[in-house]
Homo-oligomer: A and B are copies of this chain.
């Protein structure tokens, strides 16, 4: 599946290259689609950490993440929060107006760079853009399917399994965009973020992270996961 190709031109390190890499590997983006994305004059939107990524108008707008970490989340009246998913470079996400009580909100966890998909795709119907549109649609679909896995995590897994399983997902996804190296990867999440995603208390996330560390499955320190044992973790949350 990882069909690593030299679609990325190294010369100047374009922000968009990582997203192109992700769409290529996970969603079968073709060269022509990559070229379309690279050449389009769509402005990069920037959101500071801890701000909402809201659409311009009042309709849901798909965005393509170029860099940074974002998440879909909902907050309930008493302040409890649930994070539904994390969005990384190369992921397409739908951002909705914050008002929609029955939906969710997209929030930047770190500084985030993204581009507006529809703005990028509007206009000419050349094959490059069509391919890009297809890949982005597929990316959204993949994200939708991941939500099933997330529900299983929340409903039917123990705390260690939840933590391990989520790290596994992040590992695999970051691998796709060349953000894994030397058996480790950067993780821009606090233990509170993990807790909100996993339906646990922060304290307990901390303790189960410790379990993973002592079992030599993964070590999270200073915004980085190291000593990652993919096989071991996969066995944990089979």
A interface residue numbers (CB < 8 A to B): 72, 74, 76-78, 80-82, 84, 102-104, 144-145, 147-152, 154-156, 196-199, 238
Contacts and interface: CB of A to CB of B under 8 A. Distances in A.
A155 B156 contact: no
A82 B156 CA distance: 7
Nearest to A85: B151
A145 B101 CA distance: 11
A221 B154 CA distance: 28
Nearest to A154: B154
Given A151-B151, A155-B199, 13 more contacts: A72-B148, A74-B152, A76-B238, A77-B238, A78-B238, A82-B151, A82-B155, A147-B151, A150-B151, A151-B154, A154-B154, A154-B155, A154-B199
B156 A84 contact: no
A120 to B, nearest CB: 23
B238 A156 contact: no
Contacts of A156: 76, 80-82, 199
16 contacts: A72-B148, A74-B148, A77-B238, A78-B238, A80-B156, A82-B155, A102-B148, A102-B149, A103-B145, A144-B144, A147-B151, A154-B154, A154-B155, A155-B198, A155-B199, A156-B199
Contacts of A152: 74, 76, 82
Contacts of A74: 148, 152
